[in-house]
Amino acid sequence: MVKSIFNNVLGPVMIGPSSSHTAASVRIGRLVRSLLNEEPLHVRVRFAPSGSLASTYRGQGSAMGLAAGLLGLEMTDRRVADSEKTAIERGLTIEYTIAGPEADHPNTYFIESKGVSGKEISLTALSTGGGVIRLVSLNGREVTDDTEYVNMVMPFPVRSSVSLPFTNHHEAYKLLSGGGASVSALAENYELAACNVDIEKIKGAALDVYRVMTESEHRGRSGTSYSDRILPGQSHLIEEGLRDARVPDAGLINDIIVSVTSVMECKSSMGVIVAAPTAGSCGVLAGTLAAIVRRFDYSSVMVEEGMMAAGLTGLMIDMGAGFAGEEGGCQYECGSASAMTAAALASLSGGSSEIIMAAASMALQNMLGLICDPVADRVEVPCLGKNISASLNAVASANMALGGFRQVIPFPEVIDAMLEVATSLDRRYRCTCLGGLSVTPAAKQIEKKLQFPGD
């Protein structure tokens, strides 16, 4: 299926906690509902024992999202949080089993469903990261082109047969080399070709995404609460520390820490955020831009171009590697977000295409090998710290590129290196909660306190 910047990179707009779990499962549930063309009555879901979903489908919102999608809810609907309870009230039963055979992809859904009239369908679907889904089979038959099906649940329907400006990250980089094209213009031209939209819709979509990002940052700053989370509200602590001199006045660094934390707290309290490229890394681009645009008062044109630079950078990563922590660890999530943010910042400062790509390259180089090891199956710890680190890394990398530092390794080759690292990363460190911080004694104590009913 043809990739789209607004389907695959700058989105989805959703409520938390996880794009590859919550948002993707909403879309899979809505797809099941659409294919049934009636109210679902009974749904059986199987996850492979060695996949990520076997150990994370509760804590990271897959069960919640699937119920919401089966009920026909949008992924920005606050009722998603109570969707499993609502499903029971409406007579919809959803059964989960963890059993063989194994699956090639860690986020594989094997689903059998029956509607109120007795109509039945079965399908196999994948969550490939950042809320993107694939339909692998339908009623026992392999689906080789799932465009018409996936378009049912995506905000930007894509064309199934199209001539694109580039088809891989190396081709995109070549077009940008030597000043051949601006990053934002190439991003816009790609989206024009991939989707049946005009340039004004693309520019408007970029600014709409930025608006949602700033709203999530503001909501987090105003204070949040949610019972099923590890961390209390902390975004106010830096400013309080500055007032009584406990925290050194580090200027923009402190602003970014507060903004990134605010976005992450919005996510954790089931507020609306933008997964850019994932919900687990949603604080990086949103929090950094909120702090920097507020401080330097960039124009809407410059913000739109910065967003599209981030979008093209993420698209190149998605073409060469991916975004799913279940496939490549947190280097795929916070690492990608850091590269995207570095590109956006270099664009805002008027950097050339070469400088923008150098900023992205240096940012991603610094994040290779980052594992995904969430505590208590929640997208909070160490996710918050990694988002803040990725944001500050993006600022440093953008400034280094703008100052003339050498990238040494071209951006496409860094993407290739990240993919090579991902293939070597033990599954314990790819969002399975089976290694790293996830299995420390302290994490296990937290997990006991936050267990779901029936676990």
Q: 14-40 pLDDT, tens per residue?
A: 997 889 999 999 999 999 999 999 999
pTM over 0.85: yes
pLDDT digits (tens, 9 = 90+) for 130-171: 999 999 999 999 999 999 999 999 999 999 888 999 999 999
Structure tokens at 175: 């077009």
Query: What pLDDT was estimated at residue 225?
Result: 83
Treating both helix axes as pointing N-terminal to C-terminal, what angle do 62-70 and 24-36 enclose, rounded to 10 degrees? Answer: 30
Query: What pLDDT was estimated at residue 455?
Result: 44
On the question of pLDDT at 76 being above 60, the answer is yes
CA of 313: how far to CAs of 189, 279, 296, 339, in Å?
Answer: 14, 17, 23, 7
Query: What pLDDT was estimated at residue 98?
Result: 97
pLDDT digits (tens, 9 = 90+) for 283-326: 999 999 999 999 999 999 999 999 999 999 999 999 999 999 99
Stretch 230-251: mean pLDDT, rounded? 96
What is the distance between the alpha carbons of residues 285 and 289, in angstroms, rounded to a whole number? 6
Residues sharing a CB contact under 8 Å with residue 404, sequence separation 6 or more, in sequence order = none
Positive or negative, the CA dihedral 318, 313, 189, 150 is positive
Assign a CATH topology to domain 169-449. 2-methylcitrate dehydratase PrpD (1.10.4100)
Return the domain boundaries, the chain.
Answer: 17-153, 169-449
On the question of pLDDT at 452 being above 70, the answer is no
Which residue(s) pair with 95 in the sheet?
44
Residues sharing a CB contact under 8 Å with residue 417, sequence separation 6 or more, in sequence order = 368, 409
Which residue(s) pair with 137 in the sheet?
124, 142
pLDDT digits (tens, 9 = 90+) for 82-139: 999 999 999 999 999 999 899 999 999 999 999 999 999 999 999 999 999 999 999 9
pLDDT digits (tens, 9 = 90+) for 199-214: 999 999 999 999 999 9
- Going by pLDDT thresholds of 50, 70 and 90, the confidence category of residue 454 is very low
Query: What pLDDT was estimated at residue 451?
Result: 67
On the question of pLDDT at 277 being above 80, the answer is yes
CB atoms within 10 A of CB 171: 14
Treating both helix axes as pointing N-terminal to C-terminal, what angle do 183-194 and 169-176 enclose, rounded to 10 degrees? Answer: 140
Residue 74: how many CA atoms within 13 Å on its side-chain side?
A: 9
Residues sharing a CB contact under 8 Å with residue 201, sequence separation 6 or more, in sequence order = none
CB 180 within 8 A of CB 253: no
CA of 128: how far to CAs of 80, 160, 219, 328, 445, in Å?
Answer: 21, 19, 29, 11, 31
Q: Are strands 93-98 and 40-47 parallel, antiparallel or unpaired?
A: parallel
Q: Which helix (H) or strand (E) holds 110?
A: strand 108-115
On the question of pLDDT at 453 being above 50, the answer is no
Superfamily of domain 17-153: D-3-phosphoglycerate dehydrogenase; domain 3 (3.30.1330.90)
CB 98 within 8 A of CB 49: yes
- Going by pLDDT thresholds of 50, 70 and 90, the confidence category of residue 227 is confident
pLDDT digits (tens, 9 = 90+) for 364-407: 999 999 999 999 989 999 999 999 999 999 999 999 999 999 99
Write down the mean pLDDT value for the chain. 95
Positive or negative, the CA dihedral 346, 357, 11, 14 is negative
Structure tokens at 323: 């975004």
